[in-house]
Amino acid sequence: MKGMLLAVLSLSWLSVFAQITITNGYFPTVGDTLRYTTLANAATMLELITPPGENQEWDYSHLKSSQNTFTAYLAPSAGEHSAFFPGADLLVKTFGGGESYYNVTNTQFEFMGFLGGAAIPFVPSAVGRYNPPLIERRAPLAYQNTHSQTSNLTIPFALSDLPPIFDSILVGIPLQFDSLRVRVRIQNADTVDAWGRLKIPNAKEYFPVLRQKRTTRSRNIIEVRVANPFPLWIDVTAFLGGTPFGAFTGSDSVVVYRFLSNDHKEELLTVTANFSEDTIRTVRYKSLPLSVSVTPDIANAPGTASVQALPNPAVDKVRFECNHLPSDEYTLKIFNLVGKVVWRETFQASGRRVIYLDLDDFNKGTYLYSLSNKKGEIIGTKRLIVIKP
C-alpha cells in the first residue's frame, strides 16, 4: 500500500512539472488587454539566457520593474483605417494615433500591417504591409518544434507625401521616378528549445512554460519606382546611406527568447539580445498584481508602525493615517491592480502623519496602497476601494 502511495505521488509530481503543449488559447482576442513591465538597464542581464534543455527552473522573481505598458486588442471596426486591411480580425491602436491590424486562424496569429503613428514620423499617413503576414504566434507548440518564415514589409510613399526637406536628398538619385518605398526583408527561424517552470515578479508560484528561441535577420532597403519604359522598382539604397533615409537602411540580427504559458496570453518573459547573445537589448515580463500579505493584528498593534485608509470604500476623498512612525523618510504609493503606480507622495515623519487625497481623478475600482521607508522596507500594503455615485 505504501509503495502504491509513493507511485501515485511520483506521478502527480511529474504531471505538475512535465513539459506542456501550447494551444491557440494564448492567441489574443477582442477585448483582451496584455500588460507588461519593461526593464531599464537590461544590457547587463546575461544570466537570463540559459542553455537549451528539458525540465529547467528559471527564478526571475528578483527583476525590478521600470516601465509598465499594455496592449489592448479591439475589433477592426473600432479603427478608422480597417479598409486598408480587409479580413483583419483584430486592431491595436498605437502611439501617435497609429493602427495595427492582425489576422487570426486556428494555428497562427499574424501581423498584417499598420497605418500611421510613430512608425514613420515624417509621413503620418504611411501604410506598411507584410507579405505574407508576419507570424507572431503559432499553435500548437511543443518542445523541439521548429518553424521558419520569410516576409517582406513594404512602406510606399508618393513623392508628394514627403516633406520638402527630402527634395534635396532625392535629387541625388540619377533616375526619373514617381514614388519611393522602404522594403524590409525579414527572416525568422523559431525553435522551442527548452521547457520547465518559470517564476516572475509578484508571482506566488512557478508557471509551467515552453521557451521559444526566435532568430530574426532583417535587411532594409530603399527602392524607387521608375515608370518608363515600363513600371519597375529599383534599389537605390547606396545613394541614400548618408542621408536621413539612412536610418531605414542596413541589416540587423537579433535573438528573442519567449517564455510561453497556456494560462497567460502575455509572454511571461521576453529577452531580446544581439545576434552573438553577448548584449541584452530589452527585457520585459508579464505585469502581475502586487501580492498583499498584511496581518491586521500585527500591523495595527500598539507601538507598531502602520498605515490605514479611511473611509474605505472611499467616494471622493480619502485620508491615510500613518501611526507610530520612527523618524525617517517615507513614500506612500497607490497602485492599480496590474502594479502600475498611479499616485505617490514622499514625506518626512516621526510619530503620526495624516495624508489627504482627492479622488476626482481616480476611476472606480480596487487599488493597492503601500507605505515604505527610505530603505524600501514595506510598512504595510492594503487594498483601497474607490466607488463613484
Check residue 376 and give left, alpha or beta (phi > 0: left; psi -120 to 50: alpha). Answer: left
Say what the pLDDT of residue 170 is: 79
Sign of CA dihedral 74, 88, 287, 340: negative
Contact 218, 187 (CB under 8 A): yes
- Work out the burial of residue 115: count CB atoms within 10 Å of its CB; fewer than 13 is exposed, 13-18 middle, 19 or more buried: buried
Q: Taking Cα atoms as reference points, which of 311, 309, 287 lies closest to residue 300? A: 309
User: Which is it for strands 67-72 and 108-115: parallel, antiparallel or unpaired?
Assistant: unpaired
Each residue's pLDDT tens digit, 278-305: 999 999 999 886 533 333 333 333 458 8
Most confident of the ranges 130-144, 249-263, 329-343: 130-144
365 band by pLDDT with thresholds 50, 70 and 90: confident
Cα distance between residue 350 and residue 147, in whole Å: 61
Each residue's pLDDT tens digit, 24-73: 999 999 988 888 888 877 877 889 999 999 999 999 998 876 677 888 89
Q: Taking Cα atoms as reference points, which of 109, 75, 105 lies closest to residue 93? A: 75
Each residue's pLDDT tens digit, 158-205: 888 887 777 777 777 888 888 888 899 999 999 999 999 999 988 888
Most confident of the ranges 201-210, 255-264, 351-360: 255-264
| pLDDT surpassing 90 at residue 9 | no
Query: What single letter denotes the amino acid at residue 376?
Result: G
| Residue, of 165 and 9, whose pLDDT is higher | 165
Q: Taking Cα atoms as reference points, which of 123, 116, 90, 126 lies closest to residue 105? A: 90
Q: Taking Cα atoms as reference points, which of 23, 14, 21 lies closest to residue 55? A: 14
Say what the pLDDT of residue 387 is: 87
257 band by pLDDT with thresholds 50, 70 and 90: very high
Say what the pLDDT of residue 94 is: 84
| pLDDT surpassing 60 at residue 5 | no
CA distances from residue 110 to 70, 77, 149 in whole angstroms, order as listed: 19, 18, 12
Contact 85, 113 (CB under 8 A): yes
What are the residue ranges spanned by the domains of the chain?
17-286, 296-386
Residues in the chain: 389
Say what the pLDDT of residue 6 is: 43
Say what the pLDDT of residue 349 is: 84
Name the residue with cell 518564415: 149
**What is the maximum span of the chain, computed from C-alpha positions, in angstroms?**
91
Contact 47, 59 (CB under 8 A): no
Cα distance between residue 174 and residue 213, in whole Å: 43
Each residue's pLDDT tens digit, 231-252: 899 888 887 766 656 566 788 9
Instruction: Give the pLDDT mean for 329-344.
Output: 84
Instruction: Give the pLDDT mean for 335-359.
Output: 84
Q: 283: part of which helix (H) or strand (E)?
A: strand 280-286
Say what the pLDDT of residue 193 is: 98
Domain range 296-386, CATH class: mainly beta
Cα distance between residue 298 and residue 23, in whole Å: 45
Integer-rounded Cα radius of gyration of the chain = 26
The structure's pTM equals 0.71
Say what the pLDDT of residue 299 is: 38
**Average pLDDT across the chain, whole number:** 85
Each residue's pLDDT tens digit, 81-131: 999 999 999 999 887 788 999 999 999 999 999 998 766 767 778 899 999
